[in-house]
Amino acid sequence: MSDDIRGMTAELAADPDSLIFLDLGEALRRRGQLDAAFKVARTGLSRYPELAKAHDLFARILCDRGEPDRAFESWVTALQLDAGLVSAHKGLGFLYYQAGDLASAEKHLAYSTQVDPDDTGTAAALERVRADAAASRAPQAAATAPEAVTAAQSDPGTDAAAPGDASLPTIAATGGLAFSFDEGARSPVQEAVFSGLDGGADGLLLVDANGLRLGGGLRNPDGVDVADSVAALLAGVSKEAARTARLLTLGDWRGLSVECGDGNLYLSAPSESTLLLTVRGLDVPMGRVARFAERASVAARSWLERAE
């Protein structure tokens, strides 16, 4: 452990409310100590859920962990809290590029270079994005473009949009980022059922009637992905809740709140054939969890309608 990290760790231990967690998390991330960085950032976020830089740090760590969907959600949240946060714009620009959405990538990178014109790496990346966008519009590409677009949309995790790209990592370098994507990762854009909602990729889980995950995500307190197994266990809950309410002549069921020893869960049904699980810590009162779940239900319904 370097002296810097040791010093920051000691400082944070002495004062758990200290914002030094931002520097410590970043230092750990740069050293590749991702589990430690993740824990530091998550703890910091729990203390400062309204701090855009904390979400930005969390997103960078998630990127390094190969979790672009969650990183996407965190950067969106960061920008909701601070619309001018350049590092979040850079991160989103990179993710959009990876997903093949060149227009959105250009928008975020252009903003970044406008605010920070000396950042040559981002400027070069923006140039590359614009060149790719122009190439995709070029007449000679007309014959093959539809196939390429179709391929990118159906499997955006492949390098259809950026084969062997060498310039994009410079976005990361200039922003202090070090992306390491799983090439098989799904598009963060298409996966964002709960885009714009805090915790959309973790703590919100949309499940179909067969217990299959439709969107969102869920991790246990140790960071292990438990979304699919929890989804399977929730398969029959909606029917059981409906049956219980009906047999007791209570009418249609509206929600099911579950207080655990270490968290609050809320189940609702955005549609007849889906179930939405919202999970929050004990620091969020059940009434607020229910309200948040209502907003998430609206987002899920809208997504389901678009998907149909």
- Which parts of this chain interact with other proteins (CB under 8 A)? 218, 220-222, 224, 226, 229-230, 233-234, 236-237, 240-241, 243-245, 247-263, 265, 279
Q: How far is the CB of 290 from other proteins (least distance, A)?
A: 9
- Measured from the CB atom, the residue of 174 and 264 that comes closer to other proteins is 264
Q: How far is the CB of 261 from other proteins (least distance, A)?
A: 3
- Measured from the CB atom, the residue of 165 and 225 that comes closer to other proteins is 225
Q: Which two tokens stand for residue 257?
A: 């709140």
Q: Which two tokens stand for residue 243?
A: 């049956």
Cα distance between residue 13 and residue 45, in whole Å:
16
What lies within 8 Å, CB to CB, of 192 at 6+ separation is 69, 72, 73, 76, 200, 201
- Measured from the CB atom, the residue of 22 and 241 that comes closer to other proteins is 241
**Identity at 97, one-letter amino acid code:** Y
Cα distance between residue 39 and residue 9, in whole Å:
12
CA nearest to 100, candidates 20, 159, 25, 145: 159
H-only helix segments in 116-235: 120-137, 145-154, 169-174, 188-191, 227-233
Q: How far is the CB of 296 from other proteins (least distance, A)?
A: 16
Q: How far is the CB of 240 from other proteins (least distance, A)?
A: 6
Q: How far is the CB of 123 from other proteins (least distance, A)?
A: 44
Answer for the pair 112, 122: CB distance below 8 angstroms, yes or no. Answer: yes
